[in-house]
């Protein structure tokens, strides 16, 4: 039996739902149930995450190169607080990169402490549906805020910690990582552009950390190499398209439209679970 169609379908779902605020983990669980598949083994899950990671690197390649150049000063600044303050106040890209590091801390702590517990108890079709209903409500609330807000240069460490905490909560399948982080940024008063840019770049250490944890448990796969490659390519391509689409919709103030999708899929999942 070939798993190629399922690999491509799951790759497309992963890429689209990783960056559109509809929860990739939740949609993958529902898709697996629809296809009659068990939860994919860690190797395939890792491949899909690497595909979405490739999409972020391609989409934000210029920004990431600039951040990498600036963060080379971080080790020295950590032992010289006056140097840290100077760089933080005078170099915008160093400041933004440091805020990425700060925002990653609560995500890492929550992931290490809670991932196994949360994913063990919230991976049923019913719980995913309920979580999608909550995500839709959050999107509607934050997406209805007026345009404007603080740009990159006015973002604070407090904002980064709040957004990082929101990303940690999105370990629960059905809670959208991008939705929670962008909404957290909007609710702290950041502009749509800054909230989205910070959210997408913040996903890089989160995806890398989650992938590292998965790798330690082994990489045996029931998928053949061509199927793994197809899943990777599908996730990368759909992830890049999702980044472009969401960036466009945020400029047009249509972020809250995704709440209707989350509500529809959430209600369908809850109804499906209750019938089963």
pLDDT value at 251 more than 90: no
Give pTM, 2 decimals: 0.88
DSSP state of 38: P
CB contact at 8 A, 162 and 186: no
Rounded to whole angstroms, how far apart are CA atoms 123 and 52? 21
Tens of pLDDT, residue by residue over 185-241, are 999 999 988 999 999 999 999 888 877 776 665 556 677 788 889 999 999 999 999
Looking at residue 144, its pLDDT comes to: 67
**Three-class DSSP category at 190:** strand
Looking at residue 261, its pLDDT comes to: 92
Rounded to whole angstroms, how far apart are CA atoms 227 and 45? 12
Looking at residue 223, its pLDDT comes to: 72
Please state, as a whole number, how many other Cβ atoms lie within 10 Å of the Cβ of residue 217: 11
Distances in whole angstroms, Cα of residue 95 to Cα of each of 77, 207, 220: 12, 22, 41
DSSP state of 257: G
Tens of pLDDT, residue by residue over 136-180, are 999 988 876 666 789 988 999 999 999 999 999 988 888 999 999
Nearest to 197 by CA among 26, 19, 22, 25: 19
Q: Indicate the pLDDT class of residue 99, thresholds 50, 70 and 90.
A: very high
Using a pLDDT cut of 90, give the percent of the chain over it: 50
What are the residues facing 42 on neighbouring strands?
A: none
- Per-chain mean pLDDT for the chain: 86
Rounded to whole angstroms, how far apart are CA atoms 212 and 210? 5
Looking at residue 1, its pLDDT comes to: 44
């Amino acid at each position: 039996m070939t798993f190629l169609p399922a690999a491509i379908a799951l790759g497309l779902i992963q890429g689209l739902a990783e960056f559109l605020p509809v929860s990739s983990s939740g949609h993958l669980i529902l898709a697996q149930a629809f296809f009659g598949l068990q939860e994919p083994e860690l190797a395939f899950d890792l491949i899909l995450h690497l595909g979405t990671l490739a999409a972020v690197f391609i989409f934000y390649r210029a920004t990431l190169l600039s951040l990498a150049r600036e963060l080379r000063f971080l080790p020295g600044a950590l032992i010289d607080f006056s140097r840290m303050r100077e760089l933080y106040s005078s170099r915008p890209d160093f400041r933004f990169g440091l805020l990425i590091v700060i925002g990653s801390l609560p995500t890492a702590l929550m992931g290490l402490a809670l991932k196994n517990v949360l994913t063990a108890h919230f991976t049923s079709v019913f719980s995913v549906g309920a979580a999608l209903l909550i995500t839709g409500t959050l999107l509607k609330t934050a997406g209805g805020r007026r345009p404007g807000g603080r740009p990159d240069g006015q973002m604070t460490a407090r904002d980064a910690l709040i957004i990082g905490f929101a990303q940690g909560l999105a370990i629960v399948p059905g809670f959208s990582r991008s939705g929670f982080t962008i909404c957290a940024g909007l609710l702290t008063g950041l502009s749509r552009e800054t909230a989205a840019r910070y959210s997408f770049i913040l996903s890089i250490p989160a995806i890398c950390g989650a992938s590292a944890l998965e790798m330690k448990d082994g990489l045996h796969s029931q998928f053949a190499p061509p199927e793994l490659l197809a899943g990777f390519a599908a996730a990368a391509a759909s992830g890049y398209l999702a980044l472009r689409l969401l960036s466009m919709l945020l400029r047009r103030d249509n972020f809250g439209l995704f709440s209707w999708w989350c509500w529809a899929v959430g209600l369908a999942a809850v109804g499906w679970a209750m019938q089963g």
